[in-house]
Structure 1
Amino acid sequence: MLCLTFKASGGATTLSTVVGVATSTTPPTTGATGTISKASGTKFTIDGVTKLYFAGTNAYWIGFLTNNADVDTVMSHLQSSGLKTLRVWGFNDVNSVPGSGTVYYQSFSGSSATIHSGANGLQLLDYVVQSAAAHSIKLIVNFVNNWIDYGGMAAYMKACGGSTNKDWYQSSSCQTLSILRNWIKKTSAYIKSLNPTHMVTVGDEGFGVSGGDGSYPYTSGEGWNWDTNLAISTIDFGTFHLYPSSYLRGTSNDFGNGWIQAHAAACVKANKPCHFEEYGVSSDHCSVEGAWEKTSVSTAGMAADLFWDDGDQLTSSKTSDDRNTIFYGTSDWTCLVTNHVSAIG
Structure 2
Amino acid sequence: MKVITLFPFIAAVAALPATSNIAPRASIAKADGLKFNIDGVTKYYAGTNSYWIPFLTNDNDVDFIMNHLQTAGHKILRIWGFNDVKTIPGSETVYFQSFSGSSATVNTRPNGLQRLDAVVKAADKHGVKLIINFVNNWNDYGGMAAYFSACEVSTQEQWYKSTNCQAMYQNYIKAAISRHRSSTAVFAWELANEPRCKGCPTAVLTDWIRKTSDYIRSLDSDHMITLGDEGFGPADDGSYPYQFGEGLDWAANLALPNISFGTFHLYPDAWGVSNSFGNGWVTAHAKICKPCLFEEYGVTNAAQHCPVESEWQKTSLVWVICSVSPTGMAADLFWQLGDTVPSTNAKTHDDGHIIYYGSSDWKCLVDDHIKRIG
Q: What TM-score do the two structures reach when normalised by structure 1?
A: 0.86
Question: In structure 2, how many angstroms separate the alpha carbons of the residues matched to 1:156 and 1:273?
Answer: 32
**Structure 1 residues 73 and 33, CA gap change in structure 2 (3 angstroms):** farther
Aligned equivalent of 1:43, options 35, 43, 65:
35
Match of 1:313, as an amino acid?
T
Question: In structure 2, how many angstroms separate the alpha carbons of the residues matched to 1:47 and 1:164?
Answer: 42
> CA deviation digits over 1:142-167, x for unaligned, max 9?
01111001111111223211122222
Question: In structure 2, how many angstroms separate the alpha carbons of the residues matched to 1:174 and 1:72?
Answer: 35
Which residues in structure 2 correspond to 1:46-125 (within 5 Å)? 46-51=38-43, 53-125=44-116
Question: In structure 1, how many angstroms separate the alpha carbons of the residues matched to 2:367 and 2:333?
Answer: 14
SS of 2:108's partner is coil
SS of 1:266's partner is coil
Deviation at 1:174, TM superposition (A): 4.0
Question: In structure 1, how many angstroms separate the alpha carbons of the residues matched to 2:163 and 2:105?
Answer: 23
Question: In structure 2, how many angstroms separate the alpha carbons of the residues matched to 1:33 and 1:313?
Answer: 30
Question: In structure 2, how many angstroms separate the alpha carbons of the residues matched to 1:216 and 1:158?
Answer: 32
SS of 1:220's partner is coil
Deviation at 1:68, TM superposition (A): 1.2
> CA deviation digits over 1:234-279, x for unaligned, max 9?
0000000000001x22x10000000001111111xxxx11100000
Is this contact kept in 1: 2:306–2:361, CA < 8 A?
Answer: yes
Match of 1:161, as an amino acid?
E
Instruction: Please tell me whether residue 257 in structure 1 is matched to residue 279 in structure 2.
Output: yes
Question: In structure 2, how many angstroms separate the alpha carbons of the residues matched to 1:147 and 1:34?
Answer: 34
Match of 2:31, as an amino acid?
A
Question: In structure 2, how many angstroms separate the alpha carbons of the residues matched to 1:128 and 1:309?
Answer: 17
Is this contact kept in 2: 1:157–1:167, CA < 8 A?
Answer: no
Deviation at 1:172, TM superposition (A): 6.5
Question: In structure 1, how many angstroms separate the alpha carbons of the residues matched to 2:266 and 2:149?
Answer: 29
Question: In structure 2, how many angstroms separate the alpha carbons of the residues matched to 1:337 and 1:69?
Answer: 23
Q: CA RMSD in A?
A: 1.7
Instruction: Please tell me whether residue 322 in structure 1 is matched to residue 351 in structure 2.
Output: yes
Instruction: Please tell me whether residue 200 in structure 1 is matched to residue 229 in structure 2.
Output: no
What runs of 5+ residues in structure 2 fail to find an aligned partner? 1-22, 168-200, 320-326
SS of 1:235's partner is coil
Matched with 1:276 is: 294
Question: In structure 1, how many angstroms separate the alpha carbons of the residues matched to 2:226 and 2:148?
Answer: 22
> CA deviation digits over 1:17-74, x for unaligned, max 9?
xxxxxxxxxxxxxx796410001121111101111x1000001100000111111111
Aligned equivalent of 1:149, options 118, 140, 144:
140
Question: In structure 2, how many angstroms separate the alpha carbons of the residues matched to 1:206 and 1:319?
Answer: 28
Deviation at 1:96, TM superposition (A): 2.5
Is this contact kept in 1: 2:79–2:131, CA < 8 A?
Answer: yes
SS of 1:233's partner is coil
Match of 1:281, as an amino acid?
V
Question: In structure 2, how many angstroms separate the alpha carbons of the residues matched to 1:59 and 1:173?
Answer: 30
Match of 2:309, as an amino acid?
E
Question: In structure 1, how many angstroms separate the alpha carbons of the residues matched to 2:37 and 2:163?
Answer: 40
Match of 1:289, as an amino acid?
E
Question: In structure 2, how many angstroms separate the alpha carbons of the residues matched to 1:172 and 1:35?
Answer: 36
**Structure 1 residues 309 and 33, CA gap change in structure 2 (3 angstroms):** farther
**Structure 1 residues 280 and 341, CA gap change in structure 2 (3 angstroms):** same
Question: In structure 1, how many angstroms separate the alpha carbons of the residues matched to 2:126 and 2:340?
Answer: 18
Is this contact kept in 2: 1:32–1:134, CA < 8 A?
Answer: no
Match of 1:66, as an amino acid?
T
Which residues in structure 2 correspond to 1:211-226 (within 5 Å)? 212-226=236-250
Question: In structure 2, how many angstroms separate the alpha carbons of the residues matched to 1:33 and 1:243?
Answer: 36
Aligned equivalent of 2:312, options 292, 300, 307:
292
Aligned equivalent of 2:265, options 241, 259, 265:
241
- Identical amino acids, percent of aligned pairs: 61
Question: In structure 2, how many angstroms separate the alpha carbons of the residues matched to 1:118 and 1:172?
Answer: 28
Matched with 2:150 is: 159
Match of 2:368, as an amino acid?
N
Matched with 2:334 is: 307
- The count of corresponding residues between Structure 1 and Structure 2 is 307
Is this contact kept in 1: 2:76–2:128, CA < 8 A?
Answer: yes
SS of 2:333's partner is strand
**Structure 1 residues 138 and 71, CA gap change in structure 2 (3 angstroms):** same
Is this contact kept in 2: 1:94–1:107, CA < 8 A?
Answer: yes
Deviation at 1:112, TM superposition (A): 1.6
Deviation at 1:94, TM superposition (A): 0.9
Question: In structure 1, how many angstroms separate the alpha carbons of the residues matched to 2:298 and 2:102?
Answer: 36
Is this contact kept in 1: 2:26–2:127, CA < 8 A?
Answer: no
Structure in which a larger fraction of residues adopt helix? 2
Question: In structure 1, how many angstroms separate the alpha carbons of the residues matched to 2:122 and 2:129?
Answer: 10
Matched with 1:20 is: none
Question: In structure 2, how many angstroms separate the alpha carbons of the residues matched to 1:280 and 1:166?
Answer: 28
Is 95-104 or 303-312 further displaced after alignment? 95-104
